[in-house]
Amino acid sequence: MKFLSSCIFVNLLCMALALPSYMSPRSHKKAPGVPPASFSADPSINVTGIYAAALASNTDMLASYPTTPGRKFIANIYGDWQNLENVSAFHFMANMDVDCDGPKEHCKGNRDGQPLTSFGALDATQVPYFVLPERFTREFKSILKDNALGAIICDSQIVYGIYGDQNADRPEVIGEASILIGQTCFPNGQMNGGNGHSKNDVAYIVFGSTVPPGIGRRTIDIQALKEIGDSQMKLLQTALGL
Ligand SMILES: *[C@@H]1O[C@H](CO)[C@@H](O)[C@H](O)[C@H]1NC(C)=O
Ligand SMILES: *[C@@H]1O[C@H](CO)[C@@H](O)[C@H](O)[C@H]1NC(C)=O
């Protein structure tokens, strides 16, 4: 549970940089020899198409939260994918702050780590999880189960995670994931407890009623996460006509 953004002091610049990437998600190649993460999506899933669809889908707004305490960028959470055929999700675009809670709460740069996460003591270095504003999770309890599945599109790749923690800062901010997700998404981004990804170009898609099997107190079954993630994303792709 934390906030952090290297963008606090240069917010306008960051926004200016973020906007063009909305239009054309980068597709630069990964360094050769870096294997895809065990919780990243099957290559048959159309990353570019789903990302473009997420950007274009902006009706049925459920809530809005700033991505930094300075409130320079407000992320809108959209519910327009809640009633698609055979699949249901809500989504938003935001930055990515790094969460380092759990047994490794003292990771580099982390000033406000906590030994527990909202539904356990997930190890942020071992478990791909993301964080949602606490007020949102209370208000939308009917469409969001604890530990629900999410797909995060970052830097032209899709990784899966669970909704494992809540942000209760003042103000509550959005756009935050475990350090494992952060370093997987942005391997050259020096992601750590004190340094996140400041552009608001990360798509978060949350399948609020789908909870992966195999979630323990500190660790989860990564293979089970990937399987259910791929199946939900394939349903989403089909429902979006991609
Ligand atoms: C992915 O979706 C886009 C639509 O946004 C489409 O133009 C493209 O052909 C699709 N790619 C594949 C590999 O199907
Ligand atoms: C939805 O599920 C039903 C039953 O499994 C299937 O017949 C139908 O083709 C599915 N629709 C889509 C868009 O996947």
Q: What is the DSSP string of 145-193?
A: -TT-EEEEEETTEEEEEEEEEEE--SS----EEEHHHHHHH-TTTT-BT
Residue 83: exposure state from Cβ atoms within 10 A (0-12, 13-18, ≥19): exposed
Q: Specify the residue with its C-alpha closest to ligand 1, atom 13.
A: 46
The closest ligand to the CA of 25 turns out to be 1
Whose alpha carbon is nearest atom 8 of ligand 1?
A: 49
Residue 1 scores a pLDDT above 60? no
Q: Whose CA is nearest to atom 13 of ligand 2?
A: 239
Q: How far is the CA of 234 from the centre of ligand 1 (A)?
A: 13
Which atom in ligand 2 lies closest to the alpha carbon of residue 235?
14
Find the 230 Cα to ligand 2 centroid distance in Å.
16
Is residue 208 over pLDDT 50?
yes
For the ranges 31-35, 79-83, 110-114, the lowest mean pLDDT is seen at: 31-35
Q: What is the chain's percent helix, strand, coil content, to nearest 5?
A: 25, 30, 45
Closest ligand 2 atom to 86 CA: 1
Nearest-ligand number for the alpha carbon of 242: 1
Structure tokens at 98: 């790094």
Q: One-letter amino acid identity for 60?
A: D
Question: Which residue has the CA at smallest separation from atom 14 of ligand 1?
Answer: 46
Ligand 2 — pocket residues by CB below 6 A? Answer: 85-86, 235, 238-239
Q: How far is the CA of 44 from the centre of ligand 2 (A)?
A: 19
> What's the pLDDT band for 110 if we cut at 50, 70, 90?
confident
Confidence bin at 35 (pLDDT 50/70/90) = low
| pLDDT(20) > 90 | no
Distance in Å, CA 147 to ligand 1 centroid: 30
Q: Report the separation in Å between the CA atom of 226 and the middle of ligand 2, taken as the mean of its atom positions.
A: 21
- The CA-based dihedral angle spanning residues 11, 14, 15, 21, taken in that order and rounded to the nearest 10 degrees: -170
Q: Is the pLDDT of residue 44 over 80?
A: yes
> What does the alpha-carbon distance between residue 150 and residue 163 come to, in Å, rounded to a whole number?
7
Residue 24 CA: distances (Å) to CA of 19, 86, 102: 9, 29, 36
Mean pLDDT in residue range 102-108 = 78
Interacting residues of 132 by C-beta distance below 8 A, sequence separation 6+: 144, 163, 166, 167, 174, 206
Supply φ then ψ for residue 131, to 5 degrees. -125, 140
From 27, 48, 236, mutation site for ligand 1 pocket: most ligand atoms within 8 A of C-beta: 48
Contacts of 206 (CB under 8 A, 6+ apart): 89, 90, 91, 132, 144, 148, 149, 150, 163
* Measured CA angle at 231 (ends 226, 236), to 5 deg: 120
Closest CA to 67 of 7, 136, 1, 108: 7
pLDDT tens per residue across span 139-189: 999 999 999 999 999 999 999 999 999 999 999 999 999 999 999 999 999
SS3 71: coil
Distance, CA of 189 to CA of 182 (rounded, Å): 9
Ligand 1 site, CB within 6 A: 46, 48-49, 52, 242
